[in-house]
Each structure stands twice: as C-alpha cells, then as structure tokens.
Amino acid sequence: MEEQEKNQPKKMHGCLVALLVIFTIFAVGASLFYGLYWYVPDGNTEANAMYERGKNCYYSCLILPAADNGWNDYSEAAKKIDLSTLQKKGANNAPQPVYSLSTWVWSGVPPKDKDAFLKFMSINQASIDMAVKGSKKKIIVPSDAPGLQNSPNNWQKMNDSIQKYYDISNFLILCARQKVEEKKYKEASELFLTALGLCRGPEPLGWGGFSRNNLFGFSTDGLSKIIENAGDDKIDFKEIKTRLGQMEAEMPEISQSIDLQVFYYHQMADFALKNSGNSGMPVYMQFLPIKAILDREMRIVDSEYVKFSKLLTLKSYECLKEVEKAEPNKKSMFFSRFCTDETKIKIQHGFANITRIRGLIIAVALREYKKDKGSYPDRLEDLVPAYLPSLPVDCMSPDGKFVYRKKSPSEVILYSFGINLTDEGGSVANQKRNGYGDDLVIFDVKPGKAAP
C-alpha cells in the first residue's frame, strides 16, 4: 500500500510529462503548419513591373485629349456639370434634388422632368462640346501625369478623378437618350459615339455598377438600337462605321487594366495603413500587426495578378475559359477574396467591349447592304469586300465568328456567345443589368419594329 502511494506521484509526473510532450509536439506542428500557411514569397519582379506600369498610366483612367492642355480643358468641362440646377420628381410628384446622373442612366430612360433636363443640357453644352472634341482624339497614356509622381493619397485622387469622368459620361448618355426621344437620331448617335470615345481607356476599377465597362455597355446598347431602327436618311452610316473603326483600333490592351488594378490595390493598402489609427477601430485591433497583414495580403494579390496576366497571353476564347475557372486564393484573408472576382469581371467585360465594337461595325455594314440591295445578305461573308475589308473577329466564339441568322429578307439577328461562351440562340433571358447577359446580341431586326 505504502509502495503504491510512493509510486503515485511518479505516475502523475509521468502523465504531466507525456501531456507536455504531446502539447509541445502539437504546438510545434501547428506553428509549423500555420507558419507555412501564413508565409507568402516576396520579391515578385513581374508584379513590381506591373505596379510601375500601372503607376505610369493611372491617370489615363480619364481619356486625355491629345493636346498639351487637354487635362485642364477636360477638368473645366467636368466642373460645368452642376447637379444643383436639376431636380427629379419623387414620391407624390414632389421635386427632389439630384445627387447623381447615374440614377437616371440605370433607369434606361431620359429624366421624367423633361423641361428641367433640357435646361440642364443647355447649361452644360460646353461639357458636350469638350467631350465630343476629346472623344475624337487618340488615346494618350502620359508617363508623368499631373500630380502623379510622389503624390500622397493617389488612391483618393484617382477616385475623385473617376467621379468627374462618370459625371460627364452619364450626362452624355442621358443627352443621347433625350435626342432619341426627340427622334434626332443623328445627334443621338454622335452623343453615344462620344460616350464610347471617352470609354476607350483602361478600366480603372472594374467593380460595382458605376464602372467604365458599364457605361460602355449602355452606350453600345443605345447606338445598337439606333442602327437597328433609324431610317436610312436619319443617320450617317459611313461616319459611324469610320468612328467605330477608329475606336476598335485604339481599344487598349486588357493588360493595362490589370496593371492599373495592381497599382490601385497597393495605393488602397497604403491608404488603409496610414489611416488605420484614425478609423475608429476597436482598441484591441490596434495591437494587431496591421502592416504585416497588409504586406502579406498584397503579396498574395500580386501573385494573383501575375497569374491573370499570364492568362492574357492566350487567345481570347481560351483565356476566357481559364479565367472562368479562377478561384480566390484561400490563403488570403480579405483582398484576394474579392480582387479575383473583380479581375474576372474586368477581363470578361474587356473582351466583351471589344466584341461589341466589332459587332457594331458589322451591324452598320448590314444596314448599308440593305440600303443598297433592298434586303439583308444571306451570309456575313457577302459584306466582304464591298462593305467590309474583312469580317471582324468575335473574341468569345471558339471559331472567332459572330452568329448571324437571317429568318426573312427583313428579319435578322447578329450576336456573340457572350461571356459564358455558350450559344443560347440569341437569348438575353437572364441578362444582367450591366448589359452583359447570356448571349451578347448586337443587332436584332424584326418586321414592324418601331424606331426608338
């Protein structure tokens, strides 16, 4: 009995040692696993190069007219968009102030208060004139844009600049819709072409409703309806085709948008770090290694953008197939979770925008052919060479060809597979509000369809 009592402390000591060993092994294993999971390689030279390219062209998120004082002129035009002169009618038909022209652009119709908007248009005619002038100039990507180099808070400045751009773009689209209401199709097409001209540059953001891609979609939709339905003597087909051809030639590489995004995210991370102590965060969060966390996140973001950049070297259709498979990096705590989806949208819509421009060029050629021949061609190949030197390529089709179907001499449809890369017979049943649905329908003419 006494011997058992003497051995009991030894057993307890042995159990404690065993537990300590097990805990130590577990702690070391967990630390090793978590350390390996947490670790992200540094020094990505490709990402650094992308960042530098993005920094050097970030101001091209606005199209700068090719003139020495182009940016100053454009800024002055933006200042003339004074929303305080405009109201809209809300509940009980009561007047309400307008905070954003985009609210009307999303509605798909001109403002209900027509008289107020017509007055607004006349007040801001200088903005229209400046935008028309700028949209016809070639895109320039300045290597040292005003206020860029060594400037603090570039992220915030970029956002402010983009907002000015959106004001003018939304204004132009609304003006174009108003001209359609007045059946002034030539003026409306000029305004839609102007909005397109301003949308040519790289996409600075690529997320949310108010992006260049969305404005591009609204503009091409409006122009498409005019091309479909306006009378032969109501628009200048040759001028529209020439302008569209110039835009197609000047569409930027989608990689420029990716470079801009790398720069944008780093600027956003720097901004978050500088303001982390003043953001009202809980006290306990102020003891977290915020800089280490942000640095790690940005290394993950860099690796993701390098991956997407390499996909862009593939042919457009193959690239889009691989992009659709991309998943957020599971090591990321937050940034990569949404930057992956954002970049997918950017690439998909970038190719969709190129396809839209090319499709509109074909649509104008179809109208020219019908004007001369009295009916639409049986095949798109019949447009070459009299109306087109060659058929534009569809980025979202496996064989690079647009789908064209002629149901009768006066009923045709022209479309692309769209970003889901699937032929759904020209259906837009599940079309999203940003203008990119199932199939990307460019030209859809039916007998008796009224002019817009």
Task: Give the residue from 305, 352, 303 showing the smallest Cα distance to 331.
Answer: 303
Dist CA 429 CA 423 (whole Å): 13
Share of the chain above pLDDT 70, in %: 71
State the DSSP code for 72.
H
137 and 206 part of one domain: yes
Residue 114: domain span: 51-258+347-445
Q: What is the pLDDT of residue 95?
A: 73
Q: Residue 210: inside a domain, yes or no? A: yes
Mean pLDDT confidence for 386-406: 95
- For residues 10 and 119, membership in a common domain is answered with no
DSSP state of 449: P
**Burial (CB count within 10 angstroms: exposed 0-12, middle 13-18, buried 19+), residue 34:** exposed
What is the band of 251 on the pLDDT scale with cuts at 50, 70, 90? confident
Task: Say yes or no: 371 and 440 in one domain.
Answer: yes
The top-scoring range by mean pLDDT among 100-104, 156-160, 311-315 is 311-315
Helix (H, G, I), strand (E, B) or coil at 412: strand
Tell whether 79 is covered by a domain: yes
Whether 450 shows a pLDDT value over 60: the answer reads: no
The four Cα atoms 325, 330, 332, 338 give a dihedral, to 10 degrees, of 40
pLDDT at 209: 45
Do 156 and 77 fall within a single domain? yes
Assess whether 6 and 103 both reside in one domain.
no
Question: H-helix or E-strand containing 57?
Answer: helix 45-57
319 in any annotated domain: no
Residues 32, 59 within the same domain: no
**Burial class (CB within 10 angstroms; exposed 0-12, middle 13-18, buried 19+) of 16:** exposed
52-86 pLDDT per residue, tens: 887 766 555 544 444 445 556 666 777 778 787 77
What mean pLDDT is predicted for residues 422-434?
A: 69
Whether residue 242 sits in one domain with residue 160: yes
Q: Which of the pair, 301 or 277, is modelled with greater confidence?
A: 301
Please check the confidence at residue 414 and state whether its pLDDT lies above 90. yes
Most confident of 66-80, 185-199, 245-259, 349-363: 349-363
Q: Using alpha carbons, list the distances in angstroms from residue 451 to 176, 180, 186, 317, 386.
A: 15, 9, 13, 35, 27
DSSP-derived secondary structure letter, 385: T
Say if residues 305 and 255 touch (Cβ distance below 8 Å). no
Global pTM value: 0.82
pLDDT band, very low/low/confident/very high, at 190 (cuts 50, 70, 90):
very high
Q: Is residue 360 part of a domain?
A: yes
Lowest mean pLDDT among 23-27, 249-253, 346-350, 447-451: 447-451
pLDDT over threshold 60, residue 4: no
Residues 8 and 104 grouped into a single domain: no
Residue 431 lies in a domain: yes
Q: What is the mean pLDDT of residues 84-97?
A: 74
Q: Report pLDDT for 162.
A: 66
Please give the share of the chain, as a percent, with pLDDT higher than 90. 26
* 3-state SS class at 417: coil
Peptide bond into 385 cis (omega under 30): yes
Residue 353 lies inside a defined structural domain of this protein: yes
Checking if the pLDDT of 302 tops 70, the result is: yes
Residues 19, 60: one domain?
A: no
Are 243 and 131 found together in one domain?
yes
pLDDT tier for residue 434 given thresholds of 50, 70 and 90: very low
In angstroms, the CA 96 to CA 360 distance is: 38
**Residue in 274, 246, 251, 238 with CA at minimum distance from that of residue 367:** 238
Question: In this predicted structure, what is the pLDDT of residue 185?
Answer: 94
Q: Dump pLDDT digits (tens) for 110-145.
A: 677 788 888 888 888 888 887 787 777 665 444 444
Together in a domain, 31 and 107: no
Asked whether residue 399 is assigned to any structural domain, the reply reads yes
CB-CB contact of 90 with 97 (8 Å): no
pLDDT score for 276: 66
Q: How many domains does the chain have?
A: 2
CA 223 centroid distance within chain: 19
Report the alpha-carbon distance of residue 177 to residue 75 in Å, rounded: 24
Do 25 and 172 lie in a common domain? no
pLDDT at res. 301: 86
Asked whether residue 57 is domain-assigned, the answer is yes
pLDDT, greater one: 260 or 156: 260
CA distance 133 to 63: 11
CA angle 105, 63, 361 (to 5 degrees): 70
